[in-house]
Structure 1
Amino acid sequence: MHIKWTALAQTAGISFGVTVAVVAVFALGILALSRREAALGAREGGRASGGAQPVLLAGAYACFAVCAAAVLYGLVLIAAP
């Protein structure tokens, strides 16, 4: 039995990189949602409000869609014959 160490290292490196990227994108989505909530709270509190709420919500949805696509792609790779 011969182990291809370079292939193993490449697989581990790519897996780590994709994991970090998906977690970072998910965190950006959570950050966008929390900033939207803070902006809505400031608007209700009487402070000046920016028009960024729809942009933040769209950005959060986009981040979550990217995460869902990465998960679905992984499941397709696992289930592929």
Structure 2
Amino acid sequence: MNVYEEKMQLQELVDTFAIWADEMKLHEQAQLFTENGELESHSADGQVFSFKGREKIEESCTNFMNLFDIHFHNNGQALFQI
């Protein structure tokens, strides 16, 4: 696989993550992580939250996304350095 193909696959992963968040397919979204994967979230006031494992990632994303009535993510640009 060449660098261009790798970059395209990474962009597809980012896009899929966002689309599934918008569609509230949070179980499917959590499956994009490895079984012991980690998700780190940073708040505007500097707090850092860390979730490890698909179950905790799904739970945290569900709790957060349930705060909103409308979901929309925009992934217009991406820069991957390999």
- TM class by shorter-chain length? 0.3 to 0.5
* TM norm structure 2: 0.34
* TM norm structure 1: 0.35
* Higher helix proportion (structure 1 or 2): 1
* Higher strand proportion (structure 1 or 2): 2
